[in-house]
Structure 1
Amino acid sequence: MNPLTEQELHQLAMNIVGKEMEELGFEFLSINSKPKKDPQFVALKDKYLHFVVVRAVRYPANPVQYDQAFMNKMRDHAVKYKARAYYAGVGIANSKNYEIPVHHDEDYTVNFAGLIEIK
């Protein structure tokens, strides 16, 4: 059994966040699935532009904690476009044992608190 790669974990996080955004009524304008190529989602909702940074977070790191300086830069970038900036950290862990990596064809646990607006 081989563990999921960083790209695969990121893609999983992107799918989780994208589905949540769809359910919330966001209209996607641009999607970038490359890790650290920010923002991952540029979307429209209620006539406002939204920039969303997605991060896959491995246990034991806390998925709601983010790099404040980086996200402040992203917020400033969003403001130039009259957009709102969000962080979406998705905690992903092996459901049998949080201490071991998530492997292909194994169950995993998701810890996603939703979009966190950076103000």
Structure 2
Amino acid sequence: MNTDCEPINLMPAPAITDARKTLGALAVFAMARNEQLIDAHSLNREIESRIGTGWSFLTAMQWLGGEKAQAVVQGLAEQGTYGGLSKQAMRDLMQSAHALCQQWPPHANDNWLLARIVADQRQAH
């Protein structure tokens, strides 16, 4: 009797598309800006559920500052919404993400980033 486990032929995980990264990151950034009682741990869980394992709020924000994310938003139709966000709202979020990326100190982490977003939102109101 053979008791060795037979190897399981697992399918490779599908590649995470630029659109999934961009739309997931935008949705969580919008959540961070609108939710007053949210913490970095919750944002990281949300990012992982929307984009995939290994992604954090910080890496998602870095993604939004890049050219590939810009190309995804540019390619969307002008009319309608995507995940509840209009194309203009996405552009505004991307500008904010880019501005935040420019301010990051070497020690920046998810908590620093969330504190910066909350401070910017308070200043805007």
User: If the length of structure 1 is used for normalisation, what is the TM-score?
Assistant: 0.28
TM-score (norm 2): 0.27
Q: With a CA cutoff of 8 Å and minimum separation of 6, indicate the structure with the bigger relative contact order.
A: 2
The structure that has the greater radius of gyration is 2
Higher helix share: 2
